[in-house]
Each structure stands twice: as C-alpha cells, then as structure tokens.
Amino acid sequence: MKIIDGKSVSEHLLADISLKLQSQKKNRSPHLAIIMVGKHPASETYVNAKIKTCEKYGFKGTLYHFPETITEKKLLDEIQKLNDYHEVDGIIVQLPLPKHISENQVIETISPQKDVDGFHPVNIGKMAKNLPALLPATPGGILELLKFYQIETAGKHCVVIGRSNIVGFPMSILMGRNSYPGNCTVTMCHSKTQNLEFYTQNADIIIAAAGQPELIKGNMVKEGVVVIDVGIHRVPDKTKKSGFKLIGDVEFDTVAPKSSFITPVPGGVGPMTIAVLLKNTFETWLQSNK
C-alpha cells in the first residue's frame, strides 16, 4: 500500500509554476481575485489559505469582501468590473452565497477566460468535449495526483461517489475521457444508488466525494483498489489539542490495508485544490498580453 502524498505533490507543482513564473518577462505577477460575501468562519479559513499560498509562490491574491446584504445586481456589477480589469487574471467566488443571490447567475457572470474555478458552463462544456479548458480545481488536482504516481487508468473501472457540480460530476466526465488520466469505464453513484457496495467492490479506482464520514469501509472494496478520498469532516477528538480531527469519506484503517494507493485525510486531495487554482491562474496570466 502506498500513501498518495498530496502535500508534497502540491508543493512540487507550485514550485514548478513559481520557477516558470520567474522565467517570464512580464511586468506584473498573476493576480487572483477572491470574492466573498458575508461572514463564514470556514470560508475565511479557506480564503486566508488561498491568499497565503498566492503570496508564497509569487502571485498576487486580493480579497473582495462584501456584506451579507449586498444585492445580487450589485455583486454581478462588481464581478463585471473584475472581468474588465486587465490586471486581474483569475476570479473565484467563495461559496456558499446568501440565499438571495443565485449561484448560477454569479458563476455565469464570471468571464470564462478568468473562471479559474472552472465552474462556468463554457469551461464545463470544453472539459466534456476534451478541449483545452480551465478544469475545476478539485477534480483537476486528482488528475495531477494520478499522473504524479503514474497510476494506470485505461480500461479500469472507476467508481465516482457523488455527482456535485464541483467534484463528482466533472470527475466522472474526466475519468471517462479519451486521455490520460482517463479512458476508464466510469460508474457515477449518488444518494439514490442502491447497493453501493456492489459497485465499490467491483471498482479498480474509487473516488469518494459523498460528503459522508467514513461511508466506504474495508469490506466494500477489493484488494489492490486505488482510493481517492475527497471528503473532509471535522469530528471531536479529545486526544488532540484542537479538540477535533479530520476524517474523510473513507474509513482509512480498514480500507488502506487492501489498497494499492490511497490518499490520507488531511494531506491528500485538499492541498491539490489550491495548487490547481494557482495553476489555472498562471495559465490565464500567460494568455493575457498585458
């Protein structure tokens, strides 16, 4: 069994981007604009981590923080301003948004050329057609992990658990594309799937993104399976100074001994998400001629 070390792969990827960045003769750094609405302690933590990573690797990261009461129209106008601002290369909106603001409207207002989260229908469409596109960060990060560890995917049965717009759905498309990583026979499971273990027991690769703590147990997988655990859950743990620990959608202790490769939580998929966000921002910056 081999642990997939997302922390070290993400550092490797970011160091490589940073080197390429230094070799470019441009008069400004890649610039990521992060929009946040209202107060959410978890979102603030994620946003701070993104800005810190930007700074560490020579990017500029700016937080545009709006009050909970901002109208949808005003928010869309602000996004339009960032679309038009030539010194911004990437725009992301930290979810969730307040209920009075349509997530779809917001995503569709971001210019597809600056949509470094890869959520715009234009980028999703290009991804589905296997055209060059900005890939959603978490699925993009999983592809980077599979590549880094040279994990064979062609002809394998890949079971993706979850069909959300940000993880499960794009992941199932990517694993079925005619490319590497890809060329899998893909089964996409969701909350209405009956007899989940029938699918997982027949999987060569499992990508678990159900948002259910330790849903996948050792008796649900076969020997030699590759396991990518996307889930992140905080559970109380008196033995930790913080009072909690992080677990995934996979019961690590029972699944790991049967796996050929497995991502831990934390330190697996999580660090890759930020790395791909910066990779996407670097790519849009390279395309911009200003």
- The site for ligand NDP (CB under 6 A) is made up of 138, 161-164, 166-168, 189-193, 196, 209-212, 215, 230-232, 269-270, 273
Q: Where are the beta strands (DSSP E) in the chain?
A: 2-3, 31-37, 60-66, 90-93, 157-161, 185-189, 205-208, 225-229, 233-236, 244-247, 259-262
Annotated active-site residue 117? The verdict is yes
Nearest-approach distance from CB 184 to ligand NDP, in angstroms: 18
Which residues are CB-neighbours of 269 under 8 A, at least 6 positions away? 6, 138, 141, 142, 145, 228, 229, 230, 263
Which amino acid, one-letter code, is at 29?
S
Decide: helix, strand or coil at residue 213: coil
Nearer CB in complex with ligand NDP: 40/78: 40
* Percent helix / strand / coil, the chain, rounded to 5: 40, 20, 40
Of 89, 117, 204, 229, the active-site residue reads: 117
Dist CA 17 CA 23 (whole Å): 10
Nearer CB in complex with ligand NDP: 111/193: 193
Annotated active-site residue 80? The verdict is no
Please report where in the chains the tokens 């949808």 appear, as a residue.
72
Give the closest residue to 250 by CA, choosing from 287, 209, 222.
209
Nearer CB in complex with ligand NDP: 151/207: 207
Nearer CB in complex with ligand NDP: 21/277: 277
Nearest-approach distance from CB 208 to ligand NDP, in angstroms: 8
Nearest-approach distance from CB 84 to ligand NDP, in angstroms: 29
The kind and range of the H/E element at 143 are helix 137-148
Give the number of C-alpha atoms closer than 13 A to the C-alpha of residue 66, restricted to the C-beta side. Answer: 23
Of 5, 60, 94, 115, the active-site residue reads: 94
Nearest-approach distance from CB 55 to ligand NDP, in angstroms: 20
Contact indicator for 242, 277 with CB cutoff of 8 Å: no
Of 50, 114, 156, 279, the active-site residue reads: 50
Nearer CB in complex with ligand NDP: 88/269: 269
Annotated active-site residue 94? The verdict is yes
Neighbouring CB atoms inside 10 A of 29's CB total: 20
Nearest-approach distance from CB 40 to ligand NDP, in angstroms: 14
Q: What angle do CA 228, 247, 44 make, to 5 degrees?
A: 100
Nearest-approach distance from CB 198 to ligand NDP, in angstroms: 12
Nearer CB in complex with ligand NDP: 145/151: 145
What is the set of active-site residues?
A: 50, 94, 117
